[in-house]
Amino acid sequence: MVGESGCGKTTTGKSVLRLIEPTAGSVRLKEVELLTLAPSRMRAHCRDMQIIFQDPYASLNPRLSDSEIVAEPMRNFDDPAWRGAGALRDRLAWLFAKVGLRPEAMAKLPGEFSGGQRQRLGIARALALNPKLIVWDEPVSALDVSVQAQVVNLLMDLQAEFGITYLFVAHDLAVVRHISHRVAVMCLRRIVEIAECETLFTDPQHPYTRMLLSAAPVAVPRARTTRTLPIGDPPSAINPPAGCRFHPRCPMAGPICRETTPPLAPRGSATDVSHRVACHLAS
Number of residues that bind ligand SF4 (CB under 6 A): 13
280 binds ligand SF4 (CB under 6 A): yes
Task: Examine residue 156 and tell whether it contacts ligand SF4 (CB under 6 A).
Answer: no
Nearest to 213 by CA among 261, 222, 181, 199: 199
In the complex, what is the shortest distance from the CB of residue 250 to ligand SF4, in angstroms, rounded to a whole number? Answer: 3
Per CB under 6 A, contacts with ligand SF4 among 204-233 are: 206-207
Question: Of 5 and 283, which has the nearer Cβ to ligand SF4?
Answer: 283
Closest separation in Å from C-beta 207 to ligand SF4: 4
Q: Which of 118, 120, 247, 275 binds ligand SF4 (CB under 6 A)?
A: 247
Under rule CB under 6 A, residue 122 binds ligand SF4:
no
| 8 A C-beta contact, residue 26 and residue 35 | yes
Instruction: Kindly state whether residue 186 participates in binding ligand SF4, applying the rule CB under 6 A.
Output: no
Interatomic CA distance for residues 232 and 240, integer angstroms: 15
CA 103/CA 96 separation, integer angstroms = 7
In whole angstroms, give the CA distance from residue 247 to residue 254: 8
CB of 2 to ligand SF4, least distance (A): 16
Nearer to ligand SF4 by Cβ, of 118 and 280: the residue is 280
Q: Rule CB under 6 A: which of 2-21 touch ligand SF4?
A: none
> Which range of residues in 110-118, 168-176, 221-229, 245-253 is near ligand SF4 by CB under 6 A?
245-253
Closer by beta carbon to ligand SF4, 150 or else 228: 228
Query: Smallest gap, in angstroms, from Cβ of residue 244 to ligand SF4?
Result: 3
- When binding is defined by CB under 6 A, the residue of 139, 179, 253, 275 that contacts ligand SF4 is 253
262 binds ligand SF4 (CB under 6 A): yes
* 257 binding ligand SF4? (CB under 6 A): yes
Q: Are 213 and 199 in contact (CB under 8 A)?
A: no
Applying CB under 6 A, which residues contact ligand SF4? 206-207, 244, 246-247, 250, 252-253, 257, 262, 279-281
